[in-house]
Chain A
């Protein structure tokens, strides 16, 4: 082996990527050539120096943040226009003798997107203005047949909420959660509306109103029954800030027992444990003791056992 080949193989030797024969030739040359031996030692020293970089392990908190952010992105992906196209277009195109239909659908989508992307489309309207929509007159909504809700815009600073919907015509409803019309509409929307994006906006609008029994019940319902994992997690975060009560305790216990998503389930159990320990709520001790004894997840068993110990002392 010559010095040039030695230098070219230096990194491969240091990182154990040379075959047995090449390795032997490399080591033979190092023994016979002082300059190359010095180069090898120098390279080893630099390699050792670079190993002083510490390996950073992702913290559990960072991992949870990453997952939550990803699930939000996936929600947008799943229920936005991309999801619509991905879910429906293959079915339409794959339908027998449907080329013409597919073309028509594509044209319609093109016009639809053009309409959506026209200037000012989709921008939330400032509260108090009605644009082309007609404001719903005061009075109850029992005589109004609502076809769909197109936008829910809560203002977190003022508590004002603007709802745009299609009834006999496009309409807007403005007010706050103190208005029973708004409250009832949002409560029904968060519990049963089929558009997850609207349910998410509705949840945001309801967060501040948990003092109303119907809102409280709706948030707990969303935490337990919403079909979307991200929504259940968001609803869980909302109910964590609510005043404690037996309804909330029972809902969290039910989530601990029946929630399918491991992340949401652990968050529910953490909320239960946190309340029990902070408020020294011994009423929860039997449920926590049951989880500590039976749960399949070692983290849950450990956390609950510690909480029971904190609550009832060495008697556990």
Chain B
């Protein structure tokens, strides 16, 4: 087996854990010089979070898989341009955000803002909502289904950027400054997006609350 891989073996972190900064910088430099094994170690450190975020944004594991691959391929192609003037994770997530934003814009332009239909005919996104224990109370189950549909429709009415900022703030709990940085925009723009998103959602869902 090639020596480079063996040399990297002690840098492979346990599943879900993070790398030391020095180890990470070493891996990045190796990846910048075309070391594929080093790049794969970096992928394994961050890919679970990237996939989780992609699922959250697009709601469908299949689509999230495409976004995951597109994002990491872009990172592979451009890692040589990473200059260590920000954290690698920030740079990586910015790439992921751009890929997700492009995806949402493509969806919007294809007039597919409604969540994709699953096999059962129910929009796939809605299946991500908490169960309502349907077997116990049919009336409550029907009500839960309506709520899920209304929330899905309301979220799909946001612009891609509003949707992204809202997802990162509401579900990931990120600070607006970090969101602005990730989305390649200012904190002020992120604030405005959050304001518009929450206003639209309130107007759409106020009768359910």
The answer to whether the Cβ of A155 comes within 8 Å of any Cβ in the partner chain is: no
**Given A11-B198, A70-B43, A74-B73; A261-B5 close (CB under 8 Å):** yes
State the Cβ distance, A60 to closest chain B Cβ, in Å. Answer: 9
Q: Give the interface segment out of A43-51, A180-188, A308-316.
A: A43-51
The answer to whether the Cβ of A81 comes within 8 Å of any Cβ in the partner chain is: no
CB-contact partner of A12 in B34, B194, B199, B201, under 8 A: B194
A15 touches B201 (CB 8 A): no
Q: At the interface, is chain B mostly helix, strand, loop or mixed? A: helix
The answer to whether the Cβ of A56 comes within 8 Å of any Cβ in the partner chain is: yes
The answer to whether the Cβ of B2 comes within 8 Å of any Cβ in the partner chain is: yes
Q: At the interface, is chain A mostly helix, strand, loop or mixed? A: helix
**Given A53-B151, A53-B171; A65-B36 close (CB under 8 Å):** no
State the Cβ distance, A267 to closest chain B Cβ, in Å. Answer: 14
In the assembled complex, which residues on chain B have CB atoms less than 8 Å from the CB atom of A48?
Answer: 209
The answer to whether the Cβ of B47 comes within 8 Å of any Cβ in the partner chain is: yes
The answer to whether the Cβ of B130 comes within 8 Å of any Cβ in the partner chain is: yes
A65 touches B65 (CB 8 A): yes
A70 touches B130 (CB 8 A): no
B residues 102-160 touching A (CB-CB < 8 Å):
128-131, 147, 151
Number of A-B residue pairs having CB atoms within 8 Å of each other in the complex: 130
Q: What 0/1 readout, one digit per residue, does chain A (5-37) give for beta carbons within 8 Å of chain B?
A: 000101110110100000000000000000000
CA of A8 to CA of B34, assembled, Å: 49
B residues 171-209 touching A (CB-CB < 8 Å):
171, 175-176, 191, 194-195, 197-199, 201-202, 205-206, 208-209
In the assembled complex, which residues on chain B have CB atoms less than 8 Å from the CB atom of A159?
Answer: none
Q: How many residues of B contact A (CB 8 A)?
A: 52
B77 touches A55 (CB 8 A): no
A15 touches B169 (CB 8 A): yes
A87 touches B51 (CB 8 A): no
In the assembled complex, which residues on chain B have CB atoms less than 8 Å from the CB atom of A14?
Answer: 198
The size class of the interface chain A forms with chain B is 35 or more
Q: What 0/1 readout, one digit per residue, does chain A (50-84) give for beta carbons within 8 Å of chain B?
A: 11111111110011011101110110011000100
State the Cβ distance, A16 to closest chain B Cβ, in Å. Answer: 9
The answer to whether the Cβ of B6 comes within 8 Å of any Cβ in the partner chain is: yes
CA of A108 to CA of B110, assembled, Å: 41
State the Cβ distance, B116 to closest chain A Cβ, in Å. Answer: 15
